[in-house]
Amino acid sequence: MVVTAGGTREPIDVVRFVGNRSSGKMGNALAAACLEAGARVALVTAAAPPPVHPRLTVTGVETAEEMRRAVWAELASADVLLMAAAVADYRPREAATRKLKKSSEGLTLDLVPTVDILASLRDHPRRGRVLVVGFAAETDDPLRNATAKLRDKGLDLIVLNDVSAPGVGMGADDNAVTVIDRDGVVLVVERMPKLEVARRIASAVSERLGARG
């Protein structure tokens, strides 16, 4: 099983980056829940990893492209991908090799889209053998947007997190999610600690995996 965590960092120069507020807590909780269930977990993370575990391997990454390469490599021997990482949507077209000095004139960044890891998996040779679970952090019309993401990226399941709700945004200790498949809502998890949420997601994924045979 492959789990991704944290928010990627796309370099502006050698000290600055474009990123987001993701703490990696949800991804780490998912890794812990899957380990509890007896799985072997490959964690690809842009955040601080969880404690060492005999069935856990950790690959640290920073950028979206580094995460894509690591995920592709790990899927060679995995049957599930839980894509909980908050991958940056944009990166500077060019990163400076030295620290950019502050000036009174301001700074304009030329941003370009990062690699779409989930969409790229359509070309992975093992895509048909892997249950792919995406995550959607939404604020506006969350159910509609998450469902569109599931369909557009060819996912098996998507976990919706309405980050506009109090107490369950990025970096929070609690979460509340809705798990969706192509037929609609599968599971609603009310606000609770992220490890408890992760256990319910892991159970839903296990049931779906068992149904696939």
* Catalytic residue set: 20
Identify which of 128, 144, 120 has the alpha carbon closest to the alpha carbon of residue 70: 120
Report how far Cα 7 is from the mean position of its chain's Cα atoms: 8
* Beta bridge partners of residue 159, listed in sequence order: 135, 179
Euclidean distance between CA atoms 149 and 115, whole angstroms: 15
Euclidean distance between CA atoms 62 and 87, whole angstroms: 10
Residue where the block lists tokens 């359509």: 122
Cβ-contact 111, 11 below 8 angstroms: no
